[in-house]
Structure 1
């Protein structure tokens, strides 16, 4: 009986010691990233709020296109984005030995995006833009490229947008369905 208790105690101690050797994977406290995609240039920071949740703040420059029957134009517009991200599989990926540095995992988020009525450059003089405000629930992934600080990210979601301000009178639709699809490559500092 004493042998069984001793063996059980040794197994218990080994299990506890081994479990303490492998810390649980969590989101990082702060991750600064620059990214570019098919269209646009972005800088963002993710601040870890809990083991699985990070708050992402982002600013960027994006092109805007307007096509009319008689002419077309393109512009460069600023963008501001705020999104809490829930990284739901970061522990599972770390448990499989995958690289999860820089929050390289799959996530759910609700993107709150604003394009203010500020046109930085346009092919048309006195271009006017209404403030765009969008709310989009999204699913996405971020993965590291090898062991480097380079990463790629993809996300998709469908939500709601509205136009604000006096310049919305120039648009036929001032609210509707917003599709958010992003494919980006970036570098983490």
Structure 2
């Protein structure tokens, strides 16, 4: 009789131990470096604060093209930029439950963005000067990192752009291709 109670007690304890273990929490990467190569090349560092929030920091270069009908001439321009985003990844656990990748912050996010565009580093006297500007906006985006750490990032939003001449309400859209560096 004692053996039956002992067996029952051990089976209940073992059952509680097995089922009381919590499901592993899916989390963003603590430190992630990336190089963007298309549309706006640059270097990215994304720091994870907790399981769903990161600070995204990017130093990049905007490549632009202008054409003047008056001079019948075209020019390229290059604008250095700094981009800071506070991102909240909201669907990591859902993706993990479906068996989809969450590594390297592969998920959907909402963000608050602040961008500073510096003065253009290319000069052409026949064209207006590209003046520095500051932009603030909320964003929705998705980021996916595939095998071999190939990364795509798409985000959309609307915000306010301020420069020395005026303040405008603007639409934002960004698409970048790059590679995650490191682990």
Please confirm whether the aligned pair reaches a TM-score higher than 0.5, indicating the same fold.
yes
1:180 aligns with 2:172: yes
**1:42-121 to 2 correspondence within 5 Å?**
42-66=42-66, 70-71=70-71, 73-117=75-119, 119-121=120-122
Which residue number in structure 2 is paired with residue 143 of structure 1? 144
Deviation string, structure 1 residues 74-124 (Cα, Å, up to 9, x no partner): 31110111111101111222232222121111110011001022x212444
**SS in structure 2 of the partner of residue 13 of structure 1:** helix
Written as runs of structure 1 = structure 2, the 5 A alignment for 1:23-38 is 23-37=24-38
Question: Contact 1:73/1:122 (CA < 8 Å) preserved in 2?
Answer: no
- How high is the TM-score relative to the length of structure 1? 0.81
Q: Distance in 2 between matches of 1:85 and 1:112?
A: 12
Instruction: Report if aligned partners of 1:62, 1:76 keep a CA contact under 8 Å in 2.
Output: yes
| Alpha-carbon separation, structure 2, partners of 1:96 and 1:121 | 48
C-alpha contact (below 8 Å) 2:113/2:137 kept by paired residues: yes
Aligned equivalents of 1:44, 1:137: Cα separation in 2: 19
Q: Output the CA distance in 1 between the equivalents of 2:127 and 2:173.
A: 30
1:106-164 residue CA offsets vs partner (Å, 9 max, x unmatched): 110011001022x212444686332210011100011122x221111111101111103
Matched residues, number: 175
Residues 76, 122 of structure 1: 8 Å contact kept = no
Any runs of at least 4 consecutive aligned residues in structure 1 with deviations exceeding 4 A, and if so which? 2-8, 65-69
Cα distance in 2 for residues equivalent to 1:47 and 1:97: 24
Map of 1:121-132 to 2, 5 A cutoff?
Answer: 121-124=122-125, 128-132=129-133
Shift of 1:25: 1.1
TM-score, scaled relative to structure 2 = 0.83
CA RMSD of aligned residues (A): 2.4
9, 31, 38: which one aligns with 2:13: 9
Q: Whose radius of gyration is greater, 1 or 2?
A: 2
Say whether the 8 Å CA contact 1:73–1:124 is kept in structure 2.
Answer: no
